[in-house]
Amino acid sequence: MSDGFALRREPFDLGALGDEEVLVEPLLGSWEANIDHALARSPIDVCSSRREKKVVLGNLGVVRVLEPGRAVTTLREGDLCLLMPFGKCDRYGYAELAYAYDAPGTIGLLAKRSKIPARVLLPMPEDTPYSLRQWATYGRYFTAWDNWRKAFGCWRTQIPDDDPADHLVFGWGGGVSFAELLLAKEAGFKVAMAVGSDARIEFLRKHGIEPVDRRTFPDLAVPDKRDPGFPARHRASMREFLTRIGELSGGAGAAIIVDNIGAPVFAATLKALGRQGVIATCGWKAGMRMTTLRGAECISRHIHVHTHVWNLGDSPRIRDLQEGAGWIPPEDATVVYDFDDVPNLYADYAAGRVESYFPLYQVNPL
């Protein structure tokens, strides 16, 4: 990606290898909404915020070590690692600037070779039963782990003893919400997720998540007053959505709603949330400016949880949970585009044509 052109393939000078850096060959990268945001130059233009003319994107994926820098003692040539997308952390280990996004000087995985600080390379488990394709999806899972822990923890501050089996967790979004709902199911909750295609309905059912077909309530967004028919259609959609949530939650409303979509579903989400409910988010796929009626939120005792990425220090623990619990998507749940085909991946993802929750690109032979 370079100033003036959104996505362009061209030579990029990596510069000399620093002592704490590692020369790697990217194998599989995960296509994420942050790449889309960067290419759309919205909500920020990463080139201008980094004051760089060219940026190599791609901050989640599997790499093979080619050459560790002189001071790197923990990695050897041939090691397989997961890139942790932490450009600049605060003093507690949470990300302030994302690697290969808005952190200046960081080089991502959409390149045949890359150069990455050793501190953000997490070795893959040795002798893992899972494939590289499965591991390459970890970004959405790591993010989900962190968001779910905060959401569940907050819910428990107000509902300390109830059995989760009597409560519903509902999700809006894609792979992150999906991974989070699997954790909610594991914790004993009833789980349901909004979905927009027949293939995804089948996929969710296969994983024990109740699909809620959002095509049955297409006008959930706040009414467009310029369209005279819209308010009535909006009311019908809202009724349909709330009836469905009511059925699934025994009339109580959802205990936790994971909302990574934002503006168009926010009003409906707050209405669907039960008393003492938690709205948890780490994304704003379709709009990030929202207003709330503070009095209603206080009286309902709703807790709003906002997180971003995860804590760098938690990375080995989340990896080990994935490995130990098999909390990882099946290989056939991923789709892989060739490196030459990345522009098509970009177009397909932006147009909502990718059926898989886990789109990947392959940069080098595995």
What b/e sequence results for 165-200 when a residue is b if at least 16 CB atoms lie within 10 Å of its CB, and e otherwise? Answer: eebbbbbbbbbbbbbbbbbbbebebbbbbbbeeeeb
Contact region with ligand NAP (CB under 6 A), list: 2-10, 31-39, 183-191, 337-345: 31-39
Closest contact distance (angstroms) between CB of 141 and ligand NAP is 10
| Size, binding site for ligand NAP by CB under 6 A | 29
Q: Bridge-partner residues for 311, per DSSP?
A: 94
| Of 36, 348, 361, 354, residue with least CA distance to 200 | 354
Q: Could you identify the residue written with the tokens 């362009």? A: 8
Q: Which is nearer to ligand NAP, 237 or 260 (CB)?
A: 260
**Amino acid at residue number 117:** P
Q: Which one among 49, 128, 131, 197 touches ligand NAP, defined by CB under 6 A?
A: 197
Residues of this chain, 37-76, that bind ligand NAP according to CB under 6 A: none
Q: Which one among 34, 59, 134, 276 touches ligand NAP, defined by CB under 6 A?
A: 34
Q: Which is nearer to ligand NAP, 196 or 250 (CB)?
A: 196
Residues of this chain, 162-181, that bind ligand NAP according to CB under 6 A: 172-177
Pattern of binders to ligand NAP over 248-267, x per CB under 6 A? Answer: ------------xx--xx--
Closest contact distance (angstroms) between CB of 166 and ligand NAP is 27
Closest contact distance (angstroms) between CB of 345 and ligand NAP is 12
For the chain, the first-to-last Cα distance in angstroms comes to 25
Contact region with ligand NAP (CB under 6 A), list: 29-37, 41-49, 68-76, 247-255: 29-37
Q: Which residues contact 178 (CB under 8 A, 6 or more apart)?
A: 140, 144, 171, 193, 204, 207, 209, 357
Closest contact distance (angstroms) between CB of 126 and ligand NAP is 27
Closest contact distance (angstroms) between CB of 131 and ligand NAP is 20
Does 29 help bind ligand NAP (rule: CB under 6 A)?
no
Q: Bridge-partner residues for 64, per DSSP?
A: 25, 80
Q: Which is nearer to ligand NAP, 21 or 146 (CB)?
A: 146
| Of 200, 212, 260, 235, residue with least CA distance to 34 | 260
Q: Which two tokens stand for residue 308?
A: 């971003």
Cβ atoms 2, 48 nearer than 8 A: no
Longest dimension (CA), the chain: 68
Q: Which is nearer to ligand NAP, 33 or 81 (CB)?
A: 33
Contact region with ligand NAP (CB under 6 A), list: 27-35, 51-59, 244-252, 316-324: 27-35
Pattern of binders to ligand NAP over 277-316, x per CB under 6 A? Answer: -----xxxxx---------------------xx-------
Residues of this chain, 111-140, that bind ligand NAP according to CB under 6 A: 140
Q: Which is nearer to ligand NAP, 72 or 135 (CB)?
A: 135
Vertex 158 angle, CA 210 and 304, to 5°: 65
Q: Which is nearer to ligand NAP, 113 or 308 (CB)?
A: 308
> How is 188-233 classified by DSSP, letter by letter?
T-EEEEEE-SHHHHHHHHHTT-EEEEGGGSTT-SPP-TTSTTHHHH
Q: Burial-class residue 158 by CB neighbours within 10 Å (0-12, 13-18, 19+).
A: middle
Q: Which is nearer to ligand NAP, 15 or 218 (CB)?
A: 218
DSSP 124: P
Q: Which residues bind ligand NAP (CB under 6 A)?
A: 32-34, 140, 143, 172-177, 194-197, 200, 214, 260-261, 264-265, 282-286, 308-309, 352
